[in-house]
Structure 1
Amino acid sequence: MTQRVYGIVGWKNSGKTTLMERVVARIVARGFSVSTVKHAHHEVDVDRPGKDSRRHRDAGAREVMLASSRRWALMHELRGAPEPSLEALLARMSPVDLVLVEGYKRDSHPKVEAHRVGRGAPLIANEDPTVRAVASDAPLAGLHVPNLPLDDADAVADFILAELGLIPAREGAR
């Protein structure tokens, strides 16, 4: 079975983890099985209260994989070996209805970009055709993909599930 994979990307402090946590909870509440992959650019410890991996698990993910340049967990120390690709990590995961990926913005899977206008960061969507929608805290003019409200996890979950053919597309969706 090929895993259905969808990503949430964005620059630092754009709201990725909060959006991810809320979208996982909404999709799990609808009866779908969800696992997550969280990419980190730093050394990480797994599953401490308040940390992103724990938040994914607490939101209902069946399996949480955390990946960084030093280790990936279901706990595996890399000990100087190169960081595994997203594809290699996904191959190690148990089958589920959907794997949501936080980070890996340069990989080829479809993505929703989390964007906060006040942060002044450029839109990834303008340069990356794999970004299929932007979830923003304000309307964005001239966007060539749907603009979803950053604080509406149900709308983001609907968009992702419809994109993957797991639910029908909503009429009138932005």
Structure 2
Amino acid sequence: MNKAQKIFGISGWKDSGKTTLTAALVAEMTNRGLSISTVKHAHHEFDVDQPGTDSFKHRQSGAQEVMLSSSKRFALMHEIIADEDEPDLDELVAKMKPVDLILVEGFKFADFPKIQVIRAKSRKNAGVEEIKNVIAMVSDDLESIADPRPIFHIDDIKNIADFIMDYIK
């Protein structure tokens, strides 16, 4: 794992509330003056580009990478070709500028500390495999979780953020 950057994960199974929690933690931590970046893993094909745009046409024409830039942001789209593996988290983080913390959503089986999000309504979606390196749990139904690790209510953003910041120090 990349030792230069502090990395902490938010993991869970489908529809558990990972994105909602990650966004709330980013807002809480940036309000505290911290610089935060995120990495989101998708298990399906996705496209940040829209058909008909110039950058989409570049990729459709065969460009392996397309950099889209403006005065407000830039995005690098990299096409993974047949003989290329999906980049691991270290490779992705190496492309990012240094910040106080990178929150990673997903990467359930990667080797870095994580909070697991469990929603009562989405337990049916829980996977058979255990998520790796879970050091705390977050749920909307605290009474139904019997676990020795710290457990937070999903709406307790301040204390979840405090826990993460204490952990990475």
Superposition TM-score tier, normalisation by shorter sequence = 0.7 to 0.9
Specify which structure has the bigger relative contact order, considering alpha-carbon pairs within 8 angstroms and separated by 6 or more residues.
2
Match of 2:65 in 1: none
Q: How does 1:135-150 map to 2 (within 5 A)?
A: 135-139=138-142, 140-150=144-154
Separation of aligned partners in 1, 2:80 and 2:125: 33
CA distance in 1, matches of 2:161, 2:90: 23
Q: Do the aligned partners of residues 41 and 123 (structure 1) sit closer, same or farther apart at CA in structure 2, a change above 3 Å counting?
A: closer
RMSD: 2.5
Cα pair distance change 1:137/1:79, threshold 3 Å: same
- Identity over aligned pairs, percent: 45
- Say how many residue pairs are matched: 142
User: How far is the alpha carbon of 1:123 from its aligned partner?
Assistant: 6.9
Give the match for residue 168 of structure 1: none
Structure 1: gaps spanning 5 or more residues: 49-62, 65-72, 166-174
2:107 equivalent to 1:93: no
Report the structure number with the largest CA radius of gyration.
2
Amino acid at match of 2:110: D
| 2:20 counterpart SS class | helix
Q: How does 1:59-74 map to 2 (within 5 A)?
A: 74=76
1:34 touches 1:97 (CA, 8 Å); kept in 2? yes
In the TM superposition, residue 76 of structure 1 has moved relative to its aligned partner by 1.4
TM-score normalised by length of structure 2: 0.75
Residue of 3, 6, 9 corresponding to 1:7: 9
Paired residues of 1:7 and 1:112 also in contact (CA < 8 A): yes
8 Å contact 2:11–2:131 — kept in the other structure?
no
Q: Alignment partner of 2:19: what SS?
A: helix
Helix, strand or coil for the counterpart of 2:37? strand
Name structure 2 gaps, 5 residues minimum: 51-72
Match of 1:25 in 2: 27
**2:64 is equivalent to residue 83 of structure 1:** no
Residues 37, 129 of structure 1: CA spacing in aligned structure 2 closer, same or farther, 3 A cutoff? Answer: closer
Of the three residues 94, 106, 109, the one matched with 2:109 is 106
The structure-2 alpha-carbon separation of the partners of 1:37 and 1:47, relative to structure 1 and needing over 3 Å to count, comes to farther
Contact kept, 8 Å, 2:109 with 2:132, in 1: the verdict is no
Cα shift readout 1:47-82 (whole Å, capped 9, x = no counterpart) = 88xxxxxxxxxxxxxx99xxxxxxxx6321213321
Deviation >3 Å, runs of 4+? 121-124, 126-129
What's the secondary structure of 1:40's corresponding residue?
A: coil
2:159 match: 155
